[in-house]
Each structure stands twice: as C-alpha cells, then as structure tokens.
Structure 1
Amino acid sequence: MSYEELLAPINGFLLTSTPKAWVEKAAQPESLSMVLIDHLICELKAAQSAMYLIRKYAVDKESGDALLAWLQPFEQFIYRREGNWRELAEKNKLSKSVLPKSNSPYGQDLIDKMVLLIKEELHHFYQVLEIMDEYDIGYRSITPARYAKGLICNVRTYEPETLIDKLIIGAYIEARSCERFAKLAPHVDKRLGDFYVSLLRSEARHYQDYLTLAEEIAGKDISDRIAFFGKIEADLINSPDEDFKFHSGIPADSVNS
C-alpha cells in the first residue's frame, strides 16, 4: 500500500487537517526537542492506555500482573529516571500468554489487538530514544498537553459506553498522530523524515483497530458518537494553544503575530 493510500482513510476520518501554522512551528530547529520528547511520552501513554483497557476489561489478575511487569522498565525510565535506555529494546517482551477472564464479554480480539499495539508503541518509544541520542537531546519532564484531556473529559460514565468512547478517542489520537507524522516528514531532515514515514503503516492500523473494536463492542451504529468526538478533536486542533506539543492546536504566537 502506498503512502497516499495509507493516508486516504485517515484524512477521511479526521474532520480537519493539521493547520499550516503548527507544521511551521514544529519544523523549526528550536522545536525539535519538544516534538521528540512529547512524541516519546505519547508512545508510552499509548501503550499505557491500551494496557489499561486490557487489564480493566479483559484479563484475570495473573495476566494483568504480567502486563504491568512488561511496562515497568519503560515507566521507570520516564518517571524515575531509572535504567539504561539502551537496554529497553530487550525488555519489550511479554512473560506469559495473556488470556481472557472467564466473565469478560470482550475476549481475545481486544487482547490480541491491544497487545500488538503495546508491543509496537514500546518499539517506537525505543526508536525515539535512539533518535534523541543521535540529536543529543536529553529527556526532561514536560507538562501534559490539553489534547487527550480535552477528549477524555467527554467520556460517558456507564458501561459499555465508557469503553466505546475510550476506543473512539484512541482511534482519533492514533489517526491524528499518523496525519501529523505525514505532514511533518517533508519539513525535517532525512533521518527524522524517514522515521516518521516508517511509522505510518502501524499508526494507520492502530486507528482502524480501535474503531473496529468500538463498533464490535457497541453492536450497533456508532457514527453519531464518532462524529461527536470528531468535532471535539477538530476544535482542539483548530483553536489557539499556548502550549506547543505534538498534538497541540494552532500555536498562539502565530495567531497573535
């Protein structure tokens, strides 16, 4: 599948494209460290979100503990500055088979899709660390962006609608990430641009997996709910944002200038 074929359904799914002002800001050399550090954190948070869904909805305690152990070295590196990042590639392994709990209505499909997503997100996490090392960019703590919170605060509080909403949000986050990698790739150096292009295939599949799971679990048409979150997502992308991040809106300084 070509680059354009991968992006076509994503561009059709998202209600708005990334504003030119964000691309211009992200492509500036002084923005590189923030783009990469926030990208790194986004990869970990994507893995954490997928793991939360599996542990809450689909697996028994033993499998849940194995999932936590899988993620632990990556979380310790970010939150406690523990460990050598070069060893993380060897840590991206699940210690046992993860099986659905007997009373889970969601089952193996949710587990299989989310386990693959976690593995790929942690691999991308390591790849971003490699690039940060090449560019001599050290990890530092940064404030959370408004983007994910702006979506999650609209999640319904009863099941299975809570799960359905979270899966729809996952689809939008993955789709926007993919769209932004494609937008940014032509405006950065070849090493970074090639890396962004290499992410498109897996990110495109992640958005589709989230959406498929949401539709399967709902068992009915959810196009209204997809459109509801699409409007919120587009508003976050198109409104001025003081805090420049990978998923931020229009840079406020470009609006005020």
Structure 2
Amino acid sequence: MLFSSTLPVVHTLKQRTSWAWVEQAINHLDTILLDHSHCERKAAGVALNLMFRYPSHGKLVRQLTAIAREELEHFEQVNQFLEKRGIPLDFLSSPPYGAGLKAQIRRLEPDRLLDSLLISGLIEARSHERLGLLATHCPEPELAEFYGSLMASEARHYGIYWLLADTYFERDVFTRRLEDLAIVESELLATLHPEPRIHG
C-alpha cells in the first residue's frame, strides 16, 4: 500500500483528505500541476482583491502584499515544472469547491471581510494538508521535494488570514464563524471530484 493510515488533520479542517484523492492525484500529476498553477494565480488575485477592497486596513494591506508576492513566485515555479514537462498553461474546469465557499460570503460589511478572510484561510489550510500529502507520496523525487518546500508558506498564509480575522473581529465572533465555514469546507470535499484537482 502506498499510504500511511495516519494522514494528518490540519487545525480546524473538519475532515482529512481521503486516500482516494491522494491516489487520484499521483496518478494524474500533469493535471495536478496544471491545476496547481491556476490555484497559485487565483490565490494571488484573492490577496490583491482584498487589498484593493480594504485599503484603509493597514495591517491587512501589509500582510497581503507579502502573500500576493509569494503566491506569484509559486505560480512561476509551478509554471517552470509545466514547461519542463511540455504542458501548456491551459484552461481547466473548476470543481464546486471554490464556488461553494464563495457562496458562503455574506454581502454586507463587516461580515463580508470576516468571511473572506476565514475562507481564504481555510483554502490555504487545505492546500497545506494536500501539498504535504503530495510531498510524502509523490513518486517523482524532484516534484515531491518541491511540494515539501511549499508547506511552510501555506501554513504561514493560513495563519496570516486567521490572525487578520482575529485582529479586526472579536475572538468569539471569529471562532464561531470559522467553525461553521470549516464544516461547509469539508462537506464540499466529501465527494471526490471525478477529475483530479488540488481542491477537488
């Protein structure tokens, strides 16, 4: 068997990633890399959009400037792997994960800011968990090492989003809402997407 029975649970994630996802991912590494490229680009866009929406939130702008820069560096690194493998940067259909989480964002402020920060943190936490699984189980040493190298960044990113939520909101408001959103996040991943995706 390829996998350990002790897959990690990352902080507030309500369900750990299934072995079926790991198996699917390592059997379709080219598609996972392409999807990973799209994920890094989108993550940079999320950070930039929050900076533009809340320019008066000084701490948020400073922290998310660093995240956006780092996500774009990762985007470039993933694209280098794609080039080595002769894979064009092309369109991929999206699983329901991102849209399902986005649908949870309330429209009115300050709820919109809180939900945006917490959902971004949950996505980064799931990325941390799944990149760790790829680092452990990927049969290609260079790619496994690359995924391992990204784990610290992903952990730092979800920590920053949740610390920002804790900065701008009361602790009990922040933790109650995070609990609710974490349940939704896990429910969205309960059924394995038929096509391999980082968040599918």
Length-normalised TM-score, structure 2: 0.91
Q: Distance in 1 between matches of 2:97 and 2:195?
A: 10
1:120 aligns to what?
Answer: 70
Partner in structure 1 of residue 31 of structure 2: 34
Task: Indicate the residue corresponding to 1:177 in structure 2.
Answer: 127
Query: Which residue of the other structure, out of 36, 44, 63, is the alignment partner of 1:47?
Result: 44
Determine the structure 1 residue equivalent to 2:90.
140
Alignment of structure 1 residues 67-216 onto 2, 5 Å:
104=56, 106=57, 108-188=58-138, 189-216=140-167
Partner of 2:175: 223
**Is 2:12–2:179's contact at 8 Å kept on the other side of the alignment?**
no
Corresponding residue for 1:21? 20
Q: Is the 2:21–2:192 Cα contact (8 Å) retained in structure 1? A: no
Amino acid at match of 1:43: E
Output the CA distance in 2 between the equivalents of 1:209 and 1:242.
Answer: 32
State the shift of 1:13 in Å. Answer: 2.0
Give the drift of 1:184: 1.3
Superposed CA deviations along residues 39-92 of structure 1, whole A, max 9, x for unmatched, are 00100100001100000111xxxxxxxxxxxxxxxxxxxxxxxxxxxxxxxxxx
Q: Which residue of 2 aligns with 1:234?
A: 186
Displacement after TM superposition at 1:145 (Å):
2.2
Over residues 146-196 of structure 1, what are the superposed CA-to-partner deviations in whole Å (9 max), with x where a residue is unaligned? 111111101111101101001000000001001000011122211100000
2:4 is matched with none
Aligned to 2:3: none
In 2: Cα distance, 1:13 partner to 1:220 partner: 15
Alpha-carbon distance in structure 2 between the residues aligned to 1:220 and 1:233 = 21
Instruction: Give the drift of 1:223.
Output: 1.3
> What 5-or-longer segments of structure 2 have no aligned partner?
1-6
The count of aligned residue pairs is 192
Over the matched positions of the two proteins, sequence identity in percent amounts to 36
Partners in 2 of 1:220 and 1:127 — Cα distance?
A: 37
Q: Distance in 2 between matches of 1:134 and 1:37?
A: 12
SS in 2 for 1:11: coil
**Greater relative contact order (Cα < 8 A, sep 6+):** 2
**Superposed displacement of residue 219, structure 1:** 2.9
The letter for the 2-side match of 1:233 is E
Question: In structure 1, the residue corresponding to 2:105 is in which secondary structure?
Answer: coil
Using the size of structure 1 for normalisation, the TM-score is 0.72
C-alpha contact 2:105 2:112 (8 A) present in aligned 1: yes
Displacement of 1:133 after TM fit? 1.5
Structure 1, gaps ≥5 residues long: 1-6, 59-103, 249-257
- Cα distance change of structure 1 residues 239 and 190 upon mapping to structure 2, 3 Å threshold: same
Question: Which of structures 1 and 2 has the bigger CA Rg?
Answer: 1
CA distance change for structure 1 residues 240 and 27 in 2, over 3 Å: closer, same or farther? closer
